[in-house]
Amino acid sequence: MSLSDIFDKRSIKLNLESASKIDAFTELVEAVAAIHPELDRSTMLAAIQDREQKMNTSIAPGVAVPHGYYPGNGGIFGALGISPAGIEYGAPDNKPVHCLFLLIMGSASSEQHLRVLTRIASLIKSGGQELLQKAQTQEGIYDILSHI
């Protein structure tokens, strides 16, 4: 499994328009819903917001992985957003977030969820965040995700 199995090309947003994290969540949930119309937008957004209220999902400088469990969903679906301007996220370092890896997971997919988080961490540790931010197309980002 590579990250490209979770993040469909169509769910990659190169220029997030949102300035706040709640608006960014909405924008990314819309990207997931466009590909998976069987998933309810309100339920996805509530799951993401509920998880974020428990603990900030910033995992590294400039990177966050907002995620939530969707009842009855059997897999993991994702959307990746790049914000050139940055989003005020309340991160521990008080710096804006530029890369958001939004994950919608089924309650039975915790093992797969951990593998996805490990792959995202590997991408970030290997300098992938800079590559993602420099990519000019969805295809360019998808190619990066295909190798992780």
pLDDT, one tens digit per residue, over 78-119 is: 999 999 999 999 999 999 999 999 999 987 676 788 889 899
* pLDDT value for 65: 96
Domains detected in the chain: 3-146 (3.40.930.10)
Is residue 29 within 8 Å of residue 48, measured between CB atoms? yes
User: What is the model's pLDDT at position 2?
Assistant: 86
Confidence band of 131 (pLDDT split at 50, 70, 90): confident
Q: What is the DSSP string of 31-96?
A: HHHHH-TTS-HHHHHHHHHHHHHHS--EEETTEE--EEEETT--SEEEEEEEEEEEEB---TT---
Q: What's the pLDDT tens digit per position in 24-70?
A: 999 999 999 999 999 999 999 999 999 999 999 999 999 999 999 99
